[in-house]
Amino acid sequence: SLPHAMAIAATGDPRDAYAAGKITAIEARAAGVHWIFAPVADVNSNPANPIINIRSFGENPKAVARLVAEFIRGAQDHGALATAKHFPGHGDTELYSHNGLPVIAANCKRLRQIEFFPFRAAIAAGAGSIMTGHLVVPALEPNRQIPATLSANIIDLLLRREMGFRGLVI
């Protein structure tokens, strides 16, 4: 058993995030699993968030980005495909996304300064996949009936074209 991401971040040592990715990959591969749905790349920007919370590496976008990148390197250096999740960022909501459809009300400037930072680091670290969040982001997708999981504006225009991600999108 490994500690939650927030506990790993509390050590202040990025090598611990790399080690967590490495251990996760080795254990997964031993069980025949080649693809892990980790790490959570969300910035824990809302203390009332019922789902991200301790699954996040923290509140500081730069620190989260560094730890996400190290976890991905640790996992992928040891034979597992890592998944940064929940694009474009699930940290600023108070609704549990498995029971409802959260709305991320942030404007584009805030999204770029906070939420996207760890995902850019994940892409730079060579993340093999990115999982979209099942949430509505009006600043990126004006049709409030279309969640990020189904949005061409978010997946194709933003993630693929603007951010240059070429891996698998979940």
Write a three-state SS string for the chain: CCCCHHHHHHCCCHHHHHHHHHHHHHHHHHCCCCECCCCECCCCCCCCCCCCHHHCCCCCHHHHHHHHHHHHHHHHCCCCECEEEEECCCCCCCCCCCCCCCECCCCHHHHHHHHCHHHHHHHHCCCCEEEECCCECCCCCCCCCCCHHHCHHHHHHHHHHHCCCCCEEC
> How confident is the model at residue 95, as a pLDDT?
79
| Positions of the chain with pLDDT lower than 50, given as ranges | none
Look up the pTM and report it: 0.96
Q: What's the mean per-residue pLDDT of the chain?
A: 96
> How confident is the model at residue 50, as a pLDDT?
84
